[in-house]
Amino acid sequence: MNINEFRKELVKIMPGYNWTCHQSRIPEYLSATGTQSSGFNRLSTLSIIRREQEGTVKYEAKSAGFGLRAKWLHSAEDRSLARVLRGLQDYYEHMANTYGAHAEHLKVGRRRSESMLQEDLG
């Protein structure tokens, strides 16, 4: 795969990102960075690496959140671009559910203590 085919694959599967493909002297190694922005604010950054070794293709994706110098939040590896991106999405959805559940428990706990305060004052 050459860099133009790699770029087409990225744009096809993730058209909402602006892609920059990086030059490599090694034909088995391709990398790209995709960004989503709103005005001057960077909302999301994706880094994709495609390695081919002895006929086996391996993709690595990592993503960062808001800002130009945001830390990488998570990474995933798989045999296809679609799978590696789906792996990242699944991870973030799982974390959102986990944190959402914890936030809800805290919210319920606060309501109980507020209602108990009302009973003590009333």
The 3-class SS string of 14-26 reads: CCCCEEEEECCCC
Q: Is 41 within a domain?
A: yes
Q: Is 39 within a domain?
A: yes
Boundaries of domain holding 18 = 3-86
Q: What pTM value is reported for the model?
A: 0.82
Query: Average model confidence (pLDDT) for the chain?
Result: 91
Q: Is 31 within a domain?
A: yes
Q: Is 59 within a domain?
A: yes
Q: Is 118 within a domain?
A: no
Task: Give the percent of the chain with pLDDT over 70.
Answer: 91
Q: What is the pLDDT of residue 119?
A: 66
Q: Is 12 within a domain?
A: yes
Percentages of the chain per state (helix, strand, coil), in multiples of 5 = 45, 35, 20
How many domains does one find in the chain?
1
Q: What is the pLDDT of residue 60?
A: 97
Q: Is 45 within a domain?
A: yes
Q: What is the pLDDT of residue 22?
A: 95
pLDDT band per the 50, 70, 90 thresholds, residue 68: confident
Q: Is 92 within a domain?
A: no
Mean pLDDT in residue range 18-40: 93
